[in-house]
Amino acid sequence: MRIISGKYKSKRITAPGNLPVRPTTDFAKEALFNVLNNLYYLDEISVTDLFAGTGNISYEIASRGSRDITAVDAHSGCVRFISKTATELDMPIKAIKSDVFKYLERTLKKTDLIFADPPYDMPAEDMLKIANLVFDRELLLEGGTLVIEHSKHTDLSDHPYFSQSRRYGGSVFSFYEIPEEEDSEEETEEA
């Protein structure tokens, strides 16, 4: 995998071959970060990376200046690799070994961005459970966004906080956020 932009632009990171992962492609990752760059100053946000795998998304965000990144994965080899790489590159990534659903049920940490890259064969209802837990437990800071990466064969638009999806090849990023409150009726009547 390659870091696309920021402090470590063009840095290649080689993960062990025995990790059970499907890293986000460079093409999809670049497209995702083009969207995120229009939503946030990435050096000012806190991030939770769920199903972090090799840490691909966490490294990209760290390279772009975020100082508060939590990477969660159930596989101990993935967590060890992320911790080792973050230490070697002096990146502010805290790797946590946990089942993602249990983590979401227990954590009190709120962040600006939550990125989830579950296995593509995970049932859609389980992927939507991620969104339900994030919003029911209020794990996003004000103005925050949840992004779930999934296969083009999965539709995750049936959620009250779904805002948009972007497709890149076989990958889709579905975005969820709490809509900003509309102007009050009084302001509308005065206009």
Q: How many domains does the chain have?
A: 1
Q: Is the pLDDT of residue 48 over 80?
A: yes
How confident is the model at residue 173, as a pLDDT?
96
2-46 pLDDT per residue, tens: 888 989 898 888 877 777 777 777 788 889 999 999 999 999 999
Say if 58 falls within a structural domain.
Answer: yes
Q: Is the pLDDT of residue 191 over 60?
A: no
- Mean per-residue pLDDT, 50-61: 95
Say if 137 falls within a structural domain.
Answer: yes
Say if 129 falls within a structural domain.
Answer: yes
- The CATH number linked to 125 is 3.40.50.150
Boundaries of domain holding 54 = 26-34+43-157
pLDDT band at 151 (very low <50, low <70, confident <90, very high): very high
Say if 169 falls within a structural domain.
Answer: no
How confident is the model at residue 21, as a pLDDT?
74
Say if 101 falls within a structural domain.
Answer: yes
Work out whether strand 162-168 and strand 171-176 pair parallel, antiparallel, or are unpaired: antiparallel
How confident is the model at residue 29, as a pLDDT?
87
Say if 173 falls within a structural domain.
Answer: no
Closest CA to 52 of 80, 34, 72, 33: 72
Say if 90 falls within a structural domain.
Answer: yes
Q: Is the pLDDT of residue 162 over 60?
A: yes
Say if 177 falls within a structural domain.
Answer: no
- Give the predicted TM-score (pTM) of the model: 0.90
